[in-house]
Amino acid sequence: DTAVSQTPKYLVTQMGNDKSIKCEQNLGHDTMYWYKQDSKKFLKIMFSYNNKELIINETVPNRFSPKSPDKAHLNLHINSLELGDSAVYFCASSYSNQPQHFGDGTRLSIL
């Protein structure tokens, strides 16, 4: 029943590996987002898709590649993971520019 669901909730992996995080929303929203929250709890937008079209692409290393197969799904693939990638990654969704609703987060730890 979770409105915005992310998998996995926890991800522990070694430096240099490639990993993916998946997000799905059942709210009927047309816009989805990826945020990164660092160890100081600062929440920063990374990407946003509206109806499968990339509309926000912040200054993020090109090791991060989002993909939206349809407007209910948004995935994030990360290549060559680095120690600095350790953070909580939140998916969010909204209807156009209405208030955004967040998923539970994926806690990524790089060993």
Q: Which residues bind another protein (CB under 8 A)?
A: 31, 33, 40-45, 48, 50, 55-56, 90, 94, 96-97, 99-105
Residue whose CB is less far from another protein, 20 or 98? 98
110/1 Cα distance (integer angstroms)? 30
In the complex, the smallest distance separating the C-beta of residue 43 from another protein, rounded to whole angstroms, is 4
In the complex with another protein, which residue's Cβ is closer, 15 or 55? 55
List b or e across 54-79, with b for residues whose CB sees 16 or more CB atoms inside 10 angstroms: eeeeeeeeeebebebeebbbbbbebe
Structural contact between residues 57 and 70, judged by C-beta atoms closer than 8 angstroms: no
- Cα separation, 108 vs 87, in Å, equals 6
* Minimum separation from the CB atom of position 31 to another protein (A): 6
Identity of the residue, 15 or 43, whose beta carbon is nearer to another protein in the bound complex: 43
CB of 48 to another protein, least distance (A): 6
